[in-house]
Amino acid sequence: MFNIKETIEKIYRESLDVKSYERILIIGDSFDHEKNTLQDRKFIARCFKDVADKFGYFLKMFFYESGKIHGEEPPVTLWVECLGRDFCNNLFKDIPYEFIKDKRVALEDLLKYKDKIDKNIFPDIVIAISYYSTSHTLFRKFLNYLGCRYASMPMVEKEMFAGPLNVDYNDLEKRTLMLAEKLKGYRAVGIKNNSGTDIVVNFEGTKINCDTGNLKERGSFGNLPAGEVYLAPRLKGTNGRICIEYFMGKKLIKPVFMDFKEGLVTDLTGDNEAVSQLNKILKDERNRVIAELGFGTNRGAKNPENVLEAEKVDGTCHIAIGDNITFGGNNRATIHIDFVIFNPEFRWLS
């Protein structure tokens, strides 16, 4: 049986490089999924706490009421926990929380309130083990701007501590940066697989981001497990179809085919239940936009059912719809949903 706490020691040491004077905040939501239970995530949080206690780190845990989808802004209670009541009273007096939740507020809108932040509670490090991802939120982006290091671990599972979290972080960083350099030599990529994916994605001149697992610098952000190169594609010139084999944590009986024209979702066919769920999401035009193209680089990642791990599997790629304002795009949407493409073949276009 693998030892979760040994891997957590490795994360503290090799990924986060925690200092004795730093404040760590573990955050999680209340969502209870049959394959990703609240009980399991609280167990993981306690393991982080036990290891922190062993090394004399200050660590606090805070669980909040769950949202309903990835990329949704967390509730006011979490803003208060991280930034203080005075900050939140002043902010929400002028800008209703509903505006933030609806993605109508930019980072710049928050900056004039930053002198109200309670520096006695502001975390140096946030480890987010919520079920629903906080990666693509204004909350996360604001904390990073203020200097917090943010490790996003949505849907984290105990088994990950034996595989994609227990890797050589120096090697992972090196290989991820090498792939990023390769992408800089191309303007687009054609992606095909035997399941029916056939799409060309234009990324000419876009910012290329790396999730290497190195979260040592002030204001750094990434997933754990880490291991991807990702970018916000151009809409014009992005056309084709992707095959969605897994959705909402399970393998679909029938795959869903999602068609794109000039970077926008135009059609869905396949599994009736999944198509129905996606059509509800796509009623908001902002959610129809291709948000991300990413490439996995983590050789320890294997599980196709958990998108946090699946998108990191070495050799895969993934496409997302929705929000990309936090990593170089200009689409501010209420959601961010990733779809992993397995066994892809790439045609690089220069």
Task: Output the 3-class SS for 14-75.
Answer: HHHCCCCCCEEEEEEECCCECCECHHHHHHHHHHHHHHHHHHCCEEEEEEECCCCCCCCCCC
pLDDT at 188 over 70: yes
Domain range summary for the chain, segments of one domain joined by +: 4-162, 169-349
Write down the mean pLDDT value for the chain.
Answer: 97
CA–CA gap between residue 147 and residue 302 (Å, rounded): 33
3-state DSSP assignment of residue 184:
coil
Share of the chain above pLDDT 70, in %: 100
How many other CB atoms sit within 10 Å of the CB of residue 220?
A: 18
Number of alpha carbons in the 13 Å side-chain half-sphere of residue 163: 18
CA–CA gap between residue 12 and residue 307 (Å, rounded): 23
- Sequence-distant (6+) residues with CB within 8 A of 346 are 189, 190, 191, 317
Alpha-helical (H) ranges within 227-326 are 272-281, 307-310
Give the mean model confidence (pLDDT) for residues 271-289.
96
Question: What pLDDT, on the 0 to 100 scale, is given for residue 248?
Answer: 86
DSSP 273: H
- Could you tell me whether strands 149-152 and 336-341 are parallel, antiparallel, or unpaired per DSSP bridges? unpaired
pLDDT tens-digit map of 4-55: 999 999 999 999 999 999 999 999 999 998 888 999 999 999 999 999 999 9
CA–CA gap between residue 7 and residue 23 (Å, rounded): 20
E strand or H helix at 198: strand 198-202
CA–CA gap between residue 50 and residue 4 (Å, rounded): 11
pLDDT tens-digit map of 201-227: 999 999 999 999 999 999 999 999 999
pLDDT tens-digit map of 303-327: 999 999 999 999 999 999 999 999 9
Question: What pLDDT, on the 0 to 100 scale, is given for residue 35?
Answer: 85
pLDDT tens-digit map of 143-165: 999 999 999 999 999 999 999 99
Question: What pLDDT, on the 0 to 100 scale, is given for residue 139?
Answer: 98
- CATH number assigned to the domain covering 4-162: 3.40.50
Question: What pLDDT, on the 0 to 100 scale, is given for residue 317?
Answer: 98
CA–CA gap between residue 268 and residue 24 (Å, rounded): 43
pLDDT at 1 over 70: no
